[in-house]
Amino acid sequence: MATTETMTLNMGPQHPSTHGVLRLVLELDGEVIVKVTPHIGFLHRGVEKLSEHRTYHQILPLTDRLDYLAPMSNNLGYILAVEKLMGVGVPERAETIRIIMAELTRLESHLVWIACHALDIGAMTVFIYAFRERETVMEIYELISGARMTSNFFRVGGLSQDVPDEFVKKVGDFIDSMPGYLDQYEGLLTTNPIWLKRTIGNGVISAEDAIDIGITGPALRGSGVDWDLRRDHSYAGYDKYDFKVPVGEKCDTFDRYKVRLIEMRESCKIVRQALDRLKPGPVLTDSPQVCYPPKENVYNSIEGLIHHFKIASEGFAAPEGEVYQGVEAPKGELGFYIVSDGGNKPERLRIRPPSFVNLQAIEQMSVGSMIADLVAVIGTLDIVLGEIDR
């Protein structure tokens, strides 16, 4: 009598649709997936260990390199955690600019997601279009921080510097044109029969399973859970803004696609509201124990120079205690847990990466489907290996 055996196939770490260096060991029955074993850690740089040896300001550049497709969201999460620990606030202008940048970052991250996700499952045009818009966000990054990806722009107590005058116009123009671009993507995808066949019914995970396995962010909302930290655990002043939280119904890849597209439109609305209420004012709080001095003091007075040196080299001592700050990063809940022993360096800094926890669901979402559907699942989870491996 004939018998059948399963076949083991290695996918990655060098594979165009694994979004970086994800390695999957697949057990296959024909082309149907029986088991998926992810192997991660190829990008492990020991950010948590390094953080224990740096002062609070010196850790900030490391956070850019976690989710490198959304640097400012990481900066924001870390800075909010340190501010909570220190008990310092931020001026209104800084808070507003932070929200503008956090939402532009969400747009940027979702643009890369739609580009790569569509490319993976056979719609190449969207990739070119979405990267065109992403370029504008990169230019805004460059305009305010000098860097296109590793922004390092926020500071404890505010921002590193004020934004240039052309910032408002550039962001405003981008936000005004973005809904039209989103219509273009939707025109290419939402009614495209190939797209529908590839996404409807793919990677289904129920709301209970999604909560149990820890999925957060758009993937959780695509499963019908009405939960958004910006609204439900408001931080950084999001409670002053009016926006909707989209929720899916069918728990599949298509619903997660719709949720992210609506989120992008809502992000545009938040940025518009923020631009309207942007008033001149200081961008760094007056808290000399914690904050860097203004640059003109550093250049023109010895006291300012000493102050700058002290903050840059020795840093500041944080009170003893522990805080956790979660933010709604583009990919889900990004959390920073800081344990302080009263010194100028954290005793322990734990980063709770959304992609790490979301990736865990890959087996549940893909067993029983084809290899090509697994590629769609990787795309819809929107993972970034930089924050999975840290």
Partner 1 sequence: MAENNRAVLKLKEKFAASILDVVEFRGEVTVTVAKDAIIDILSFLKLSLQYNQLTDLTAVDYLNKKTDRFMVVYQLLSIPNKDRLRIKTAVTESDCRIPTATQVWSTANWLEREVFDLFGIVFENHPDLRRILMTEDWVGYPLRKDYPLQGPDREPYKGRLS
Residues within window 61-120 making contact with partner 1, judged by CB under 8 A: 84-85, 87
Nearer of residues 149 and 211 to partner 1, judged by Cβ:
211
Amino acid at the residue 163: V
Q: Where are the beta strands (DSSP E) in 43-171?
A: 154-155, 158-159
Q: Which residue has the tokens 């931080």?
A: 235
Work out whether 46 is an interface residue with partner 1 (CB under 8 A).
Answer: yes
Nearest distance from residue 110's CB to partner 1, in Å? 23
* Binding-site member from 143, 188, 339, 372 for partner 1 (CB under 8 A): 339
Q: Measure CA of the first residue to CA of the last residue in the chain; give whole Å.
A: 50
Distance of CA 367 to the CA centre of its chain: 27
Interatomic CA distance for residues 256 and 253, integer angstroms? 5
How far is C-alpha 254 from the geometric centre of its chain's CA atoms? 21
- 186-215: contacts with partner 1 (CB under 8 A): 211-214
Q: Which amino acid is at 381?
A: L
Q: Is 369:33 a contact under the CB 8 Å cutoff?
A: yes
Determine the size of the site formed for partner 1 (CB under 8 A): 40
The Cα-based distances of 232 to 80, 221, 386 in angstroms read 16, 13, 27
**Can residue 270 be called a binding residue for partner 1 (CB under 8 A)?**
no
Which of 160, 282, 360, 370 touches partner 1 (CB under 8 A)? 360
Which of 15, 23, 35, 54 binds partner 1 (CB under 8 A)? It is: 54
**CA dihedral defined by 204, 210, 214, 215, rounded to 10 degrees?**
50
Tokens of 67: 């989710």
Is 309 a residue that touches partner 1 (CB under 8 A)? Answer: no
State the minimum distance, in angstroms, from the CB of residue 209 to partner 1: 8
What are the tokens at 49? 């260990």
Q: Choose which of 9, 14, 16, 49 interacts with partner 1 (CB under 8 A).
A: 49
Supply the minimum distance, in Å, between the C-beta of residue 42 and partner 1.
9
Stretch that binds partner 1, among 90-98, 132-140, 236-244, 341-349 (CB under 8 A): 341-349
Q: Would you tell me which residues interact with partner 1 (CB under 8 A)?
A: 40-41, 44, 46, 48-50, 53-54, 58, 84-85, 87, 211-214, 225, 227, 232-233, 321-324, 326, 333, 335, 337, 339, 341, 347-348, 350, 352, 356-357, 360, 389-390
